[in-house]
Amino acid sequence: MSSDSSSLQSAAVIQEAVQSLRSGGLVAFPTETVYGLGADAKNPEAIKKVFAAKGRPSNHPLIVHIAAPDKFDQSQVDWVPVLAPWVRDLSEDALKLIHAFWPGPLTLVFKKDKSVPLEATGGQDTVAIRAPAHPLTQELLRKFKGGIVGPSANRFGKVSPTSAADVRYEFEEMLDLMILDGGDCDVGIESTIIDLSRDHPVLLRPGLITPGDILAKTGIKVYLPHEYAVLAGQSETPVVSGSLRAHYAPTTPLRLYASGRVLDALSEFPDIKSRVAVAVWDSDSSLGEDGHPSVHFEEVLVPSDSVSFASKLYRTLRDLDQQGWDLILLPEPPVGEEWDGVRDRLQRACFGSGPSSSSHANN
């Protein structure tokens, strides 16, 4: 926002959002990953409104968003006072991760301070925290001078919103919901979640930042849940945002197909009507319609690099869902940890997709 008038306008809008949060209201806000549905993280009644608006089970923890400290001219920002109201202890590893990746799409799980309401943590003794990189939300958090819980601003289990218009579409009957418009989200899938509340860091949700990135930048090894279970001789994993089998799901049935196997995917659905949207990699040649005369294909090109694919994933699912197809087919993501975040979202989206839960039976 270059001109003075627009910065004044945004200052007024942010002030209004701050007032709304302070009075226990909800505010939808942009982040680099997806839009969040925000409430004051220390106000149990406001937090309950978030669960009610989303239709989300109250035992699901929320992520607390905090502002990055102002840099001024110090070489390393001091995060300790910022985190002190939220977490019980900050390890060396935690500070390394924070300095390397915050603000950004990395959520860290800590043992919570006793002042953090259990409503925000789904009744668990841990709290998930991140500092989002979006400048509008950083400004909101600075002015608010507190933490904001913010699950994705959509109905529970449905496709996450990556624009202000998506949020309006999801909550059109909530006329008093204030929505801060920060444009389209860059990253496009939810943050990576790392659990630091145990003896070793554990990946609880894959995202743009991978265990390989973390190792390369900080020297910290992040364990996958099954590796940690072997290490610790236990199998229990804490509940985190987006960990249900069915999630991020369109109403249209969604399936993945293996390379070159579109017709196989179709033959699994003999009763599917006739209109099928088939996403193909932008690096592949076209499918052609031979061999399945009753089906009308429409090809949709999707990016073949993981970062661009993630950035457009929810936009693509949302648009296709609103176009009235009978079936959506997406290519299976390639092997490799840079695709793990996308693969995770797609598997959950497939499992939850379709007009009702009866469609899960044939998964």
- The model's confidence at residue 363, banded by pLDDT at 50, 70 and 90, is very low
Q: Which of 342, 106, 92 is nearest to 204 (CA)?
A: 106
Residues, the chain = 363
pLDDT of residue 361: 36
Does residue 362 carry a pLDDT above 60? Answer: no
pLDDT of residue 171: 96
- The model's confidence at residue 266, banded by pLDDT at 50, 70 and 90, is confident
- The model's confidence at residue 20, banded by pLDDT at 50, 70 and 90, is very high
Handedness of CA 199, 203, 205, 207 (dihedral sign): positive
- The model's confidence at residue 6, banded by pLDDT at 50, 70 and 90, is low
DSSP string, 59-114: TS--EEE-PPPP-TT-SS---HHHHTTTBS---HHHHHHHHHH-SSSEEEEEEBPT
d(CA 65, CA 137): 9
Does residue 140 carry a pLDDT above 50? Answer: yes
Q: Which of 175, 205, 211, 176 is nearest to 192 (CA)?
A: 205
Q: Range with the lowest mean pLDDT among 118-122, 152-156, 235-239?
A: 235-239
Percent of the chain with pLDDT over 90: 72
Give me the amino acid identity at 261: R
CA-based max dimension of the chain: 67
> What is the distance of C-alpha 166 from the center of its chain?
14
Please give the structure tokens belonging to residue 246. Answer: 């069915």
Is 231 strand, coil or helix? helix
Mean pLDDT, rounded, for 46-55: 96
Mean pLDDT, rounded, for 283-289: 65
Position with higher pLDDT, 219 vs 75: 219
pLDDT of residue 341: 97
- The model's confidence at residue 39, banded by pLDDT at 50, 70 and 90, is very high
Mean pLDDT, rounded, for 111-115: 96
Give me the amino acid identity at 191: S
pLDDT of residue 90: 94
Cα(first)–Cα(last) distance of the chain, in Å? 47
pLDDT of residue 9: 64
**What average pLDDT does the structure give for the chain?**
89
Domains of the chain and CATH, by start: 4-232 (3.90.870.10), 254-360 (3.40.50)
Does residue 291 carry a pLDDT above 80? Answer: no
* Pairing of β 192-195 and β 202-205: antiparallel
d(CA 217, CA 100): 7
Mean pLDDT, rounded, for 261-288: 77
pLDDT of residue 268: 74
Does residue 293 carry a pLDDT above 70? Answer: no
Output the CA–CA distances (angstroms, integers) from residue 164 to 141, 239, 348, in the order listed: 18, 28, 24
pLDDT of residue 252: 93
d(CA 271, CA 285): 28
Does residue 290 carry a pLDDT above 90? Answer: no
Does residue 308 carry a pLDDT above 60? Answer: yes
Please give the structure tokens belonging to residue 220. Answer: 């910290």
pLDDT of residue 312: 97
**pLDDT tens digits, 317-350:** 999 999 999 999 999 999 999 999 999 999 999 9
Phi, psi of 218 (to 5 degrees): -125, -15
Does residue 360 carry a pLDDT above 50? Answer: no
